[in-house]
């Protein structure tokens, strides 16, 4: 019966994604329907229990950031910023797209929150890439690739996850695994980003004169207000983090912990409205990607049923049963983690791997290899628009492009998942 539930769960995911495309209905709505069906008929959650699966955190993140930057899109500020970059970066315009990788990657190295950086840059990146006549999906790829930077050995992710795994398989193996993960993630992500940059023609960015000619960039009063507010948000978001790295103190420590991108976006929305930077009703109606938000939050509700359906227990039982040869365990872990990460944040999957790790190590599987395979599987497919990472990267995509970009991100996620699984088969993670 357990395997039947697993199959039903996978079928529900496939019907949501493929059926949504075929019927031209938001996949998130179908996913919500399946979540209620499972909750009422199989898992016993009931209606209220299924409603509680709705991710308020995910909704608030996407809603507030897109609302805030919606003002900048509505009044043309994003377009003006893009034109300004073209006009004043005459020496090597081909480098401009790469800045949307380099800036967040280096900031992640310095300890800033990768999610916050990407949430902030995604509207600017899409505005630039689209104006440059490049495929919009390139913006998602450039930003997504930066997630490798957040695994540097001196950062919170490394310390938190290595100690977490260390309790299960020992600190020496955990630290070795996460050190190798950082190297492997950087090599794979940067390689993928550069190949995409070349294949998608990022290097063909036209010179500023070809794009704008002699066009004069005029900044309106509303656009100036918008830029001042955006710059203020940037300053409050970044400066306390940098000061805290150099000279830790209670004031900037509190600011870093509490003045997050969500809080600052909410305050920025109020400032935009009060200064009349744009028509707020128009921003709500036309600039917030409601379809994307429904899709991501709906899929998150369906994924929330995984534990109640026994999906994680089924995978655990299969791994612990000994029915898989030792040589197949690492590729299997990479494939399973990659598949789950297509639809859910890696933070949800990691506890499963930690719980399984001691038993797998007892079978002779390397603890470090378990870490690299599981985390790389999750990283590889996290560009999926249904996963937290991919959803963040597509947040700033204009509504008319979001459906196509989302489909492309899903295809790229599947491709990356296959590549990482093959690398595991060839022993790269051992």
pLDDT in tens, 348-392: 677 778 777 887 787 778 888 999 999 999 999 999 888 878 888
Q: Is the pLDDT of residue 17 over 50?
A: yes
Say if residues 147 and 336 touch (Cβ distance below 8 Å): no
pTM, whole model, 2 decimals? 0.71
Residues near 405 by Cβ (< 8 Å), separated by ≥ 6?
136, 137, 140, 385, 394, 397
Residues near 187 by Cβ (< 8 Å), separated by ≥ 6?
none
Q: Is the pLDDT of residue 283 over 70?
A: yes
Lowest mean pLDDT: which of 63-72, 150-159, 187-196, 335-344? 150-159
CA–CA dist 341, 416 (Å, integer): 12
Number of H helices, E strands in the chain: 23, 0
Please give the torsion angle defined by the CA atoms of residues 402, 381, 316 and 39, in that order, rounded to the nearest 10 degrees: 0
Q: Is the pLDDT of residue 110 over 70?
A: no
pLDDT single digits (tens) 46-86: 899 999 988 787 788 778 878 887 888 788 887 677 667 66
CA–CA dist 285, 290 (Å, integer): 9
Residue 348: the pLDDT is 63
Residue 421: the pLDDT is 94
Rg (CA), the chain: 22
CA–CA dist 163, 157 (Å, integer): 10
What are the φ/ψ torsions at residue 327 (nearest 5 degrees)?
A: -70, -20
The Cβ of residue 160 has, within 10 Å, a number of other Cβ atoms equal to: 11
The Cβ of residue 414 has, within 10 Å, a number of other Cβ atoms equal to: 17
Residue 245: the pLDDT is 74
Between residues 230 and 137, the one the model is more confident about: 137
Q: Is the pLDDT of residue 209 over 60?
A: no
Residue 342: the pLDDT is 84
Sign of CA dihedral 45, 49, 54, 56: negative
CA–CA dist 428, 430 (Å, integer): 6
Q: Span 227-245, mean pLDDT?
A: 83
């Amino acid at each position: 019966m357990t395997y039947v539930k697993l199959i039903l769960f996978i079928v529900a995911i496939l019907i949501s994604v493929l059926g949504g495309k075929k019927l031209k209905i938001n996949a998130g709505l179908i996913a919500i329907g399946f979540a209620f069906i499972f909750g009422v008929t199989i898992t016993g959650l009931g209606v209220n229990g299924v409603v509680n699966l709705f991710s308020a955190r995910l909704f608030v993140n996407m809603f507030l950031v897109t609302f805030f930057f919606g003002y900048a899109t509505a009044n043309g500020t994003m377009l003006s910023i893009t034109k300004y970059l073209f006009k004043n970066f005459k020496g090597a315009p081909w480098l401009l797209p790469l800045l949307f990788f380099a800036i967040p990657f280096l900031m992640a190295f310095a300890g800033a929150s990768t999610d916050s950086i990407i949430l902030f840059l995604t509207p600017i990146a899409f505005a630039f890439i689209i104006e440059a006549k490049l495929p919009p999906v390139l913006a998602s790829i450039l930003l997504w690739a930066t997630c490798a930077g957040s695994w540097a050995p001196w950062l919170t992710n490394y310390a938190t996850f290595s100690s977490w795994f260390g309790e299960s398989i020992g600190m020496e193996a955990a630290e070795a695994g996460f050190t190798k993960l950082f190297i492997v993630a950087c090599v794979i992500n940067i390689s993928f980003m550069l190949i995409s940059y070349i294949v998608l023609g990022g290097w063909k960015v036209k010179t500023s004169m070809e794009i704008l000619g002699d066009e004069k960039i005029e900044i309106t009063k509303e656009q100036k207000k918008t830029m001042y507010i955006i710059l203020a948000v940037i300053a409050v978001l970044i400066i306390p983090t940098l000061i805290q790295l150099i000279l830790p103190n209670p004031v900037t420590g509190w600011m870093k912990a509490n003045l997050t991108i969500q809080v600052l976006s909410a305050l920025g929305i109020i400032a935009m409205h009060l200064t009349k930077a744009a028509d707020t009703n128009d921003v709500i109606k036309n600039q917030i990607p409601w379809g994307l938000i429904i899709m991501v939050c709906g899929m998150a509700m369906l994924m929330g049923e995984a534990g109640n359906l026994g999906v994680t227990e089924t995978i655990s039982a299969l791994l612990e049963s000994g029915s898989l040869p030792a040589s197949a365990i690492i590729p299997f872990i990479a494939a399973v983690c990659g598949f789950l990460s297509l639809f859910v944040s890696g933070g949800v999957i990691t506890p499963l791997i930690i719980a399984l790790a001691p038993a797998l190590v007892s079978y002779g599987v390397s603890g470090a290899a378990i870490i690299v395979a599981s985390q790389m599987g999750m990283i590889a497919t996290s560009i999926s628009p249904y996963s937290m990472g991919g959803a963040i990267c597509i947040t700033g995509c204009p509504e008319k492009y979001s459906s196509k970009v989302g489909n492309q991100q899903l295809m790229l996620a599947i491709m990356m998942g296959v590549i990482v699984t093959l690398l595991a088969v060839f022993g790269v993670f051992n």
